[in-house]
Amino acid sequence: MGEEEKLQIIHSEGEEAKLQNIHSEDEEVQESEHNNGICSSICAPVNWFKMLAMELHWNFVFSVVIVYGVSQGLGGAFSRISTEYYMKDVQKVQPSESQVYSGITSIPWMVKPLWGLLTDAVPILGYRRRPYFLFAGSLGVVSMLFLSLHKNLHIVLALLSLTAGSAAVAIADVTVDACVAQNSGSHPSLAADMQSLCALSSSIGALVGFSLSGILVHLLGPMGVYGLLSIPAGLVILVGVLLKESPTHNFAYQQVLTSHLSTICEQLSL
């Protein structure tokens, strides 16, 4: 073998080694980019929550997640499915009659402007948010435990308890809406993020709730699920305890009341 052939072989082997090194480096770059993409997709929501907690205080984010995600989303899904089986299996009512009762229990949601008027115009001991969270949570705990612990409950008492539970969720919903509106005024650049937080919490809670409600009703029965629903209501009480709110003094009741009544009248006239 001549010198030229040896040089060609050495040159070709060097080129192959370079190509292999380049190929391995490309694979490493692609793998690192893939890993970075996974990490960024996981870390982005966590960083978003941290940003909201730092800018708006963690107890506000906690309030939105509990009220929208746990109480309204998860609890609403559990309550809807368990009420259907409760009316059919426990109260022994017909489906048409059950729909009438469902309309009665939804009355608290039809009068949401009234709850909003109370939270804005009627402070309790100088606070406009915390007492209503405490009242809503306590009302929800009492009504759900009452349904859970009484087997042969009259339909009228059952309707009153279900309506009280619905009112508890509606009052908590209106109160946290007022907190969101207040923070939107003080942090207008984060208004869209707050709305996204509300929608995200409610959607995830409802998705988990409807996924598990059938299994829980099968295992525990509708009355057992009502017992579980006292937990979201208890968390609403915790929201009222932890919420950061400064007391208001010399509150202009008449001015706020007149403003809200005029707004309601304008909406009704449209």
Q: How confident is the model at residue 7 (pLDDT cuts 50, 70, 90)?
A: very low
CA distances from 138 to 83, 141, 168, 235, 238 (A): 20, 5, 8, 10, 10
Residue boundaries of the structural domains of the chain:
1-56, 58-269
Q: CA 5 to CA 54: how far, in whole Å?
A: 70
pLDDT digits (tens, 9 = 90+) for 144-159: 999 999 888 889 999 9
Q: How confident is the model at residue 256 (pLDDT cuts 50, 70, 90)?
A: low
pLDDT of residue 162: 94
Q: CA 233 to CA 216: how far, in whole Å?
A: 18
Q: CA 49 to CA 84: how far, in whole Å?
A: 36
pLDDT digits (tens, 9 = 90+) for 167-209: 999 999 999 998 898 888 888 888 888 999 999 999 999 999 9
CATH of 58-269, one of 1.20.1250.20, 3.40.1000.10, 1.20.1300.10, 3.30.450.20: 1.20.1250.20
- pLDDT tops 70 at residue 265: no
pLDDT > 70: percent of the chain? 76
